[in-house]
Structure 1
Amino acid sequence: GAGGKGVWGKLGSELVEADVDMNDPNYDSDSLDNGDIELKTIIPEMSDEEIQKDTEPIVLEYFEHGDTAEAALAFDELNCGTKRYLIVVFAVEIAMEHKPSHREMTSVLISDLYGRIVTQKDIARAFEGLLKNLPDLVLDTPDAATVLGNFIARAVADDCLPPKFVQICKDKVTCDHARQALSRADTLLSMKHGLVRLDNVWGVGGGLRPVKYLTRQMTLLLQEYLSSGDLQEATRCLLDLEVPHFHHELVYEAVVMTIEAINGHTEELMCKLLKSLYAAIIITPDMMERGFLRVYEDMPDICLDVPLAYTVLERFVERCQKGGFVTDEVIKKMPSRGRKRFVSEGDGGRIKSHDFV
C-alpha cells in the first residue's frame, strides 16, 4: 500500500511532481525551477540625502548647458520612487542661491519635467515642503519668501500647479514667511495679464534684454549709489544684470552723470565706484577705456548742455588717473575744449596735449 500518515508513501511517488501550495508555510519560491519564474534585481529607493547629493550636480550642469532634455535623462536614472518631488525641492533651493537667470532656467526645468519625471501632485508637494522650510531658507537667502512666491506664481502660470494651490496653502500655513511667499504669489497672479507677464518674472536673461532697458537699469543703479554710497549694493546690482560685454555703458553713464553734476562729492563717489569695480576685475581695462572714449566722442553735444563740461572732465580724468584705473591711452585722447577731433590738422598727426583755455 501507499501507506498512511508518517510513512514514505507509495514506491516511485517521489518521481511524480507534487502540486504546489503557495499558502504552505514551507513554500519557497526560490526553489522553483521552471520557465514561469523571472528574477529581477530590486534597487532600494534612494534616501533623501542621496537624492540631494545626486540632484545638485545635475542642476549645476544644467545651469551650464541649459538642456532640459539632458537633465531629465539624468533625473530618470535616479531611483527616487515615491520621493521624486524632492528633485523639485532641491532644484529650487539651489536656484535660490544663484542669479535670476538661473532661477528662470529652474522654472523652465520644472515645467519641462512635469509629466515626464514629476506629476502635478509631486510639484505641489514640493512647494508645500519649501513653504515649511522657509524659516531655514531665509537664513542663507534673506529674500527667500519673495523668491519662492515668484516660483509658485510661475508654476501656476506654466500649468504645473492648479490655480487653487495658493488659496489652499494660505488656509493651512501658520509661518509668517510662508504667508509672505503666498501673498507674493497671489499678488503676481492677480495682476492684469498676470499669467502672461509671469513669463518674465525673473527678467529676461542677460544680453537678451533690450539696450534701453539695460541703460535705464544702470542709470538707476548709479543714482541709487550716489544717494546711499553703498558700494556693495551697487556691485551686486551690476552683477545681477549679467552683461559684462555692456559694462562700458556703466562707465559712460557714470562719467556723463559726473559731468552734469558739477560736484566734487559726485566726482569722488564715482571715482571710488569705478576704482572698486576695476580692482575686482568686474569692469575690465577694455570696458573702462571704451566707456571713456565714448564720452570723448559725445563731448561736443554734452558741452551744449553743460558749458563747464571740459573742465569737469579734465578734473575727473585726473582723479581717475591718480586712482590708477585709466590707461595712458585714455589720458592722451582726452579732447580739448571745443574740439570735436582729437588731432590738429597742422601738427603732423601728433596727439595734442590736453590744453584747456
Structure 2
Amino acid sequence: MVFLRKEYGHPNARKSAPDFDAFKKKATIIVEEYFATDDVDSATNELKELALPSYNYYFVKKLVSMAMDRHDHEKEMAAVLLSALYADVIDAPQVYRGFSKLVESADDLIVDIPDTVNILALFIARAVVDDILPPAFLKKQIALLPNDSKGVEVLERAEKGYLAAPMHAEIIERRWRVSKKTVEDVKARINNLLIEYVTSGDKKEAYRCIKDLKVPFFHHEIVKRALVMAMERRQAEDRLLDLLKEVAEEGLINSSQITKGFDRMIDTIEDLSLDIPNAQRILKSLISKATSDGWLCASSLRSLSLEPRKKLLEDNFTRTFKLKSQSIVQEYFLTGDISEVFSCLEAENRTSSGELNAIFVKRLITLAMDRKNREKEMASVLLSSLCFPADDVVNGFVMLIASADDTALDNPVVVEDLAMFLARAVVDEVLAPQHLEEVGSQFLGTDSIGGKVLQMAKSLLKARLSGERILRCWGGGGSSRPGWAVEDVKHKIGKLLEEYESGGDIREAYRCIKELGMPFFHHEVVKKAMVMVMEKKNDRLWGLLAHCFGSGLITMNQMTKGFSRVEESLDDLALDVPDARKQFLAYVEKAKTTGWLDSSFHYGNSINGKENGACQ
C-alpha cells in the first residue's frame, strides 16, 4: 500500500516562476530524449540533476500526456519509466499529484486526443497495478470533480473497465506490450521463418508464419530477404524460389509486393556486390527463373544496369545532411524559430540541391507524424514558409509514400497523416492541385499506399469548406503566432499592398512589412506585388519594392524567390492577363538592371532548373 501525506509539496516552499518555467522546458526535453533513446538510466539521472523535487508532479503529468498522443511503444515506455522513478526519484505524493492534474485536465486533453478517456484510464489502472498509485485514488478524485467532467469518466473507466476485470493485472501489464511491433522485430521474424524453412522444407509452417505476421503491406521484405538468402546460400535457391512461387500463386503475397521486393533488391545490388561478387549475375538469373515460372512480370521491374549505378544521395555528405536535418527539425519543434531553420539550411545546403530539399521535406514530415498535432501544424507552417520548388516538395512526398510500408508498422494511420499533409500543402499553395497527380503517378493502382494517399487527399480537398477545415486540421497555432500563421500573414500582406496601391503612404507600408517579423517570407510580398503590378499595370507597387530593396528590408534572395514564384504561376495569371509573360520578361530585365536579380536569372530557370527558386 502506498503511504500518502496530506501535503503534496513542502508547506513552506514557494514556487519560483522562473525555476518552474525552466523545469517545464527541461522536463519536456528529457521526455523527448527518452522516447528517442529508450534509456531509463539517462532519463533518471537527468531528472535528478534538475534537483527540484517539488515540481516532479509536473514531470509525471508531462510524461503521461506526451505518451498518450503516441504509439503503444511509447505508452509502455512511460509506464516503465514511472515505475523506475517511483520512490527513488519521485516520491509518492508527487506521483499522486501528477495523476490528479492529469485527471483534472482530461477535458482539455480530449480536444487533441479523442481517445483520452480510454488511454488515461489505462494509465491510471497501470499505475495502480504497478503499485505507484493507491486504489483509493479513484474514489477520492471522483469526489473532487464535477459529475459532468471527463475526469469522472476516466476514473469510472479505470475502475469498472480495467481494475474490476478478472485477471486484470496480467491484462493491464501486457496491454501495450502485445501490440509492440517494430520494423526490426518483423524483419527478425521474417529472417527466422526463412532460416527454419530452408532447414526443414516445411511449406505449411512457413505459410502459417507468414500469415501470422499480419503485415501484408510489408511482404516485400519477405521477398527481398528470400532472394538475399538464395544468393548467399546457393544450395537453398530452388527451395526458396519454390516457396515464393507458391505464396504468389496462392495470393498470400500479391504481385505488387513481389515486384516491390525485387525492386528493393535492384536498389541494393551495389552493396550486395561487396559481399557477393556475382550478385548482379545471380539476381538476373533469379529474375529470369521467376519470370519463366510465371509469378513475376519482369517488364514492371526497374532497370538492372550492368554498370554500377551512382548513388547520388548516398554519399557521406548526404548522410551527414540527413542527420543534421533531424537535429534542425527537432530544435524547431522545441523553439518554433523558423528563421533559425533558414539559417541552418543555408549553411548545410549551399547549392540549393533539389535532392537535399526533398530529403528535408521527408525528414520534417516523418518526425512530425510521430508527434502531436502541435508539431504537425508546425511542420505545415514551416513547409509553407520554406518556399522550396514544387518539384522538390513533390519528390519529398514521393519518398515519404515509398517508405510508408515501413512507417505503417510504427504508425498505423500513416495513410491518413500523409493525405492530410498533402492536402494541406495544396491549401497552403506549396503545391498546385495538378501536383497531386504527379505524386500519384509514381504509385499505380488504387490499392497501393500511394493510390490510397492520393484518393484520400482528393476527398479532403473536395469536401465542403475544405480549405477552412484543412487549415484547422491540427488546430492551428503551429508557430509562435496563434491560429493560421501563414494564411494570416498572406492576408495581411494582401491588405497592406492593396492599401498602398490605392494611395497609401510608403512609410506606413514599409513599417507594416517590417512589423510582420517574417523576413524569410518576404518572397510573398514580392510575388503579390508583382501580380498586382501586372494585373493593374500600375507601377506604384514597383516603387514600394524598390524602397524595400534599397533599405535592405527585402534581400536579393527573397526577390529571387518571389520572381520565381510569379513565373510558376504565369499559366494561371495568363488567363486573366493575356500579356502576363511579356510583362514578366520585361520586369525581369528591369529587376536585373536595378540589381534586384542576379544576371544568371533567366525565364524558365525557376521552373526547370530550380536553382533560383529554392531557399539557399
Alpha-carbon distance change, 331 to 138 in structure 1, aligned in 2, over 3 angstroms: farther
Moved more, 45-54 or 71-80: 45-54
**Equivalent of residue 177 in structure 2, options 203, 221, 231:** 203
Cα deviation for residue 337 of structure 1 reads: 6.8
Aligned to 1:162: 134
How far is the alpha carbon of 1:298 from its aligned partner?
3.5
**Pick from 72, 76, 88: which aligns with 2:48?**
76
After superposition, where does 1:182-331 map in structure 2 within 5 Å? Answer: 182-186=155-159, 187-204=161-178, 206=180, 241-246=181-186, 283=218, 286-290=221-225, 297-298=242-243, 310=249, 317=255, 321=259, 331=287
Q: Which moved more, 1:122-131 or 1:175-184?
A: 175-184
2:290 match: secondary structure: coil
Give the superposed CA RMSD. Answer: 4.3
Paired residues of 2:223 and 2:244 also in contact (CA < 8 A): no
Residue type of the partner of 2:78? Answer: T
The 1:112/1:205 distance shift into structure 2, 3 A limit, reads: farther
TM-superposed CA distance for 1:126, in Å, is 0.9
Larger Rg: 1
Asked if 2 retains the 8 angstrom alpha-carbon contact of 1:156 and 1:163, the reply is: yes
Return the alpha-carbon distance in structure 2 between the equivalents of residues 178 and 83 of structure 1: 22
Change (3 A) 1:198 1:311: closer
TM-score scaled to structure 1, two decimals? 0.52
Question: Any idea what SS the aligned residue of 1:85 has?
Answer: helix
Higher helix share: 2
Aligned to 2:82: 110
- The TM-score normalised by the length of structure 2 is 0.32
| CA deviation map 1:119-142 (0-9, x unaligned) | 222112111111121222222222
Report SS of the residue matched to 1:118: coil
1:58 aligns with 2:3: no
Counterpart among 60, 63, 78 of residue 91 in structure 1:
63
Cα shift readout 1:199-237 (whole Å, capped 9, x = no counterpart): 21312474xxxxxxxxxxxxxxxxxxxxxxxxxxxxxxx
Residues 295 and 169 of structure 1: CA distance in aligned 2, closer, same or farther (over 3 Å): farther
Q: 1:134: which partner in 2?
A: 106
Q: One-letter code of the match for 2:151?
A: A
Could you say what secondary structure the match of 1:109 adopts?
helix
Deviates more, 1:62-71 or 1:100-109: 62-71
User: How many residue pairs are counted as aligned between the two chains?
Assistant: 231
The gaps in structure 2 that reach 5 residues or longer are 1-14, 194-206, 208-214, 231-238, 267-282, 296-616
Aligned residue identity for 1:183:
E
- Contact 1:154–1:201 (CA under 8 A) maintained in structure 2: no
Contact 2:58/2:98 (<8 A) preserved? yes
1:178 paired to 2:151: yes
Pair 122,335 (structure 1): closer, same or farther in 2 beyond 3 Å:
same
Aligned to 1:30: none
Conserved? CA contact 2:223–2:262, under 8 Å: no
**Could you tell me how far 1:67 is from its partner in structure 2?**
3.5
1:161 deviation in Å?
A: 0.7
Q: Which amino acid aligns with 2:171?
A: R
Equivalent residue for 2:466? none
Identity of aligned residues (%): 26
Q: Spell out, residue by residue over 1:165-206, the C-alpha distance to the aligned partner (whole angstroms, 9 max, x if none).
A: 122223333344323322331121112121233221312474
User: Offset of 1:64 from its aligned partner?
Assistant: 3.7
- Cα distance in 1 for partners of 2:155, 2:222 equals 42
**SS at the partner of 1:115?**
coil
Contact 1:155 1:161 in 2 (8 A): yes
